[in-house]
Amino acid sequence: MTIRLGNFQIGNTQPLTIIGGLNVLESQDLALEVAQVFVDTCSRLGLPYVFKGSFDKANRSSIRSYRGSGLEAGLEILAAVKQQFGVPVITDVHEPFQAAPVAEVVDILQLPAFLSRQTDLVTALAATGRPINVKKAQFLAPAEMAHIAQKCREAGNDQVMICERGTQFGYNNLVVDMLGFPIIKQMGLPLIFDVTHALQLPGGRPDSAGGRRQSALALAKSGVAQGIAGLFLETHPDPEQAKCDGPSALPLRMLDAFLGQLAELDRLVKQQPELAIL
């Protein structure tokens, strides 16, 4: 299955789609700065691109943590990115009432990992008719994602992508099980790999998540080597000053070299025939 988005398709055999941007929308100027770098880099590499930015992060560790620009201001920022660069945009939806107004601006709706089993939210997203990027919950096995995809279908929407973002392994740690990738692909759904969230150390800091961005390239290569539809990637010009998930964010200055290696790997992997080992 592929999902058509503008002039490209998102699918496991298609060129690697990059879903990238900021974890949380901090300002319009910053969003446009980051989008410009992604657009230039992905255009040079021939990679389809979707801008990502969250208007609200409703699951922050601390009540004092920055949550985002809010719904109205956030949609204005996302609309500005679309208008200036002509690229699709994606954002999280945390509550059912947000789905319809978000779908008026946004091309792909994202179902957050912690909320991925909330049936009312799933059906509200499905009702918009927009493609849905379902984040795999840290507490679910890969095979269980079939149930969420079925909820979307029964609500009238089969435009579903599954996004792997690691599985909780004890306290304060996430592990990506590469054996889960083919399980999801066998469902016939586009598989997206959220490499930066998979680098998180949940609760790894006194009031926020820690991270392991030094391992971003190694983990991204492991995921892209599986032959996937897309890579989900959050960046920041100065990760130490980012208002959310800085320890996992890729420094923006490294984007070109980072994606250059992954684009080459993606082309190599998808040129090879798949072998059925029985």
3-state secondary structure of 4: strand
In whole angstroms, give the CA distance from residue 258 to residue 54: 23
231 beta partners: 18, 193
Whether 29 sits among the annotated catalytic residues: the reply is no
Q: 252: closest CA among 27, 16, 31?
A: 31
3-state secondary structure of 97: helix
Tokens found for residue 276: 């059925």
In whole angstroms, give the CA distance from residue 213 to residue 219: 10
Q: Spot the catalytic one: 56, 92, 194, 245.
A: 245
Tokens found for residue 239: 């990760």
* Residues near 206 by beta carbon (within 8 Å), at least 6 away in sequence: none
Q: 275: closest CA among 231, 227, 229?
A: 227
3-state secondary structure of 49: strand
Q: Spot the catalytic one: 12, 23, 133, 157.
A: 23
Following CA atoms 121, 122, 127, 128 in sequence, which dihedral angle do they give, to the nearest 10 degrees? 80
Helix or strand run (H / E) with residue 277: none
Whether 172 sits among the annotated catalytic residues: the reply is no
Q: Spot the catalytic one: 52, 57, 136, 243.
A: 57
Whether 92 sits among the annotated catalytic residues: the reply is no
- Alpha helix stretches (DSSP H) within the chain: 28-45, 71-85, 99-103, 119-127, 145-154, 180-185, 216-224, 255-271
| Angle, alpha carbons 41-159-13 (nearest 5°) | 50
Catalytic positions: 23, 57, 245
